[in-house]
Structure 1
């Protein structure tokens, strides 16, 4: 990917894809993008961070409609490259009245009744920053189809619109296979939404899916973690609730579905949590992982070094391949185990 693509990717990661763009009320932190990247990060990763640092964000930011066009174009361009690389095919479809993208790995042409991965894309609940980049590599590595839900976005559609769409697609997939043949995963906003979907299923006393992939998110909309206080914050909000206020709407921030950490986590499926040391949602991810462990859930936290929020969704670096391999291995193994 060229420098222009990296700059647009930073718009996705640092401004839109992250509920992480929230900060406690403190003195302005140093510019983390100017910090030296350690040698524990690959040369390609260090070059990618340098490219991000040299690509200033628009000021002011363009309207949401323009952001969606820009990031949609990026997803299409990167998705086309990934399809060619992995021999995958992406198909636009509708399931339960909800638009989706179905990603078929090489050699597969239909969902059938076999195991399936349900993806909830990132994008700060306002754009689609991952329905191709988060899915094509995972489909290729697992050999399983991925259904990515193109859920309704804020500010036009606040909570629970996105959750309703995710639930409708999940339940439609249940018609053709047992819940144990479905695994749910998502990055950033998609991680948040994935945890909400599991909490909703628990409230309905429905059987759990085989696994949850919670990749850089938060399960508590009522607080901001420590990592949010020292990561770069171009949007200026001082709390997590403010950063995704358009999504939360009028819902109480401690609602146990909106913020699953305030509900009963004991029935959650095995969960893989992934973050990185320069990820503004590192705290939110690790706090949720600890809460799951305290409730007896099989939860595993992997923290990669030196790279920014949700980098695997937009950086073509060795660490992205490593993260995708970890994610795919976990999801595939859990589906086989059930």
Structure 2
């Protein structure tokens, strides 16, 4: 298991069980040398700070440590800005077109820190040629559900003023995947135009019934505790929190991505299957031998392959650079 998940539990004041940490084999030999090196660097990082403020500062430092070289490598310009009163990061690739599609990103980080607003987006912007808007939504536990959803909705509404929804894509990793699916459910409930494509990357769409891979790579009780922090007392089977429990007919075309040592592998696959059962164009891509959300913090050929898969999906659905 990588350090991202323990960080999220620690941020919530929850310690992962030792048994969950021990249920793992050595990283497989077939992983690239770069992936093995990245996993080793991640495992060797210093212990996390004791306070929430310190953890958030540490997460932002890691975003810049990993993300800024990616921006430079791809020639993508990042700008901190505000849209509809919400802080955002806007990523503009060198090959962007003025009236091209736009992507909305909701970053990962267990709802409590920002572990993806740079690293999830530099490659996607470069490979698609699209502008990417990353929402820096309010964080739990100070701001539980629906604060993050409200922020995402406000930015999406603003994008609708200048973009045909058929030219808008939405995606997120981990907590951001959960939020992305919740945003689609919110749009459908409020009868607003939904995006043309959803990237659901290592997430869960039924928070009331977590899948089997959590038992292999995490601690189910700890994850449930984290979700209670996020939900703010709302019942977890509410379709606005758990969209898989709602009507999925007519849902946007969805790409689901996970990995075989991902504690949310089961939940990602089950949501993809539910979408397929509902007649929604849904594709599942699984990377072997890698941990949760590896593309967000490891520079390796496997991460490059994940981002290429994501970019191909969006350009196929929204048009533009192949």
* Same fold? TM cut 0.5: yes
Question: How far apart, in 2, do the equivalents of 1:87 and 1:18 lie?
Answer: 35
Question: How far apart, in 2, do the equivalents of 1:335 and 1:22 lie?
Answer: 41
C-alpha offsets along residues 262-286 of structure 1, whole Å, 9 cap, x if unaligned?
A: 1111121110000000000001101
Question: How far apart, in 1, do the equivalents of 2:162 and 2:194 lie?
Answer: 15
Q: How far is 1:239 from its partner?
A: 5.5
Question: How far apart, in 2, do the equivalents of 1:240 and 1:264 lie?
Answer: 26
Distance 1:97 1:27, change over 3 A: closer
State the match for 1:3 in structure 2. Answer: none
State the match for 1:28 in structure 2. Answer: 19
State the match for 1:274 in structure 2. Answer: 257
Asked whether the 8 Å contact 1:17–1:188 carries over to 2, the reply is no
Question: How far apart, in 1, do the equivalents of 2:81 and 2:292 lie?
Answer: 29
2:118 to 132, 136, 150: 132
Question: How far apart, in 1, do the equivalents of 2:196 and 2:10 lie?
Answer: 26
Q: Higher relative contact order at CA 8 Å, sep ≥6: structure 1 or structure 2?
A: 1
Asked if residue 287 in structure 1 is aligned to residue 298 in structure 2, the reply is no
Distance 1:30 1:67, change over 3 A: closer
Distance 1:204 1:322, change over 3 A: same
Distance 1:14 1:304, change over 3 A: farther
Q: What does 1:148-227 align with in structure 2 at a 5 Å threshold?
A: 148-227=134-213
Q: How far is 1:51 from its partner?
A: 3.9
State the match for 2:62 in structure 1. Answer: 74
Question: How far apart, in 2, do the equivalents of 1:27 and 1:145 lie?
Answer: 42
State the match for 2:240 in structure 1. Answer: 257
Asked whether the 8 Å contact 1:17–1:122 carries over to 2, the reply is no
Question: How far apart, in 1, do the equivalents of 2:210 and 2:247 lie?
Answer: 21
C-alpha offsets along residues 150-177 of structure 1, whole Å, 9 cap, x if unaligned?
A: 0010011100000011011111100011
Asked whether the 8 Å contact 2:9–2:222 carries over to 1, the reply is no
1:16 to 2, 8, 12: 8
Question: How far apart, in 1, do the equivalents of 2:145 and 2:39 lie?
Answer: 33
Asked whether the 8 Å contact 1:225–1:281 carries over to 2, the reply is yes
RMSD: 2.6
Query: Which region of structure 1 is more displaced relative to structure 2, 323-332 or 200-209?
Result: 200-209
Gaps of 5+ in 1: 1-8
Question: How far apart, in 1, do the equivalents of 2:203 and 2:248 lie?
Answer: 16
State the match for 2:27 in structure 1. Answer: 37
Question: How far apart, in 2, do the equivalents of 1:30 and 1:147 lie?
Answer: 35
Distance 1:267 1:128, change over 3 A: same
Distance 1:62 1:150, change over 3 A: same
Matched length: 319
Gaps of 5+ in 2: none
Q: How far is 1:18 from its partner?
A: 11
Q: How far is 1:32 from its partner?
A: 4.1
Q: What does 1:78-89 align with in structure 2 at a 5 Å threshold?
A: 78-89=66-77
Question: How far apart, in 2, do the equivalents of 1:30 and 1:171 lie?
Answer: 42
Asked whether the 8 Å contact 1:213–1:273 carries over to 2, the reply is yes
Q: How far is 1:17 from its partner?
A: 9.0
Q: How far is 1:142 from its partner?
A: 0.5
Asked whether the 8 Å contact 1:22–1:224 carries over to 2, the reply is no
- Partner SS state of residue 40, structure 1: coil
Distance 1:22 1:309, change over 3 A: farther
Normalising by structure 2, what TM-score? 0.92
Q: How far is 1:14 from its partner?
A: 4.0
C-alpha offsets along residues 183-238 of structure 1, whole Å, 9 cap, x if unaligned?
A: 000000000000001111111222221100000000011122110001145xxx61
Normalising by structure 1, what TM-score? 0.87
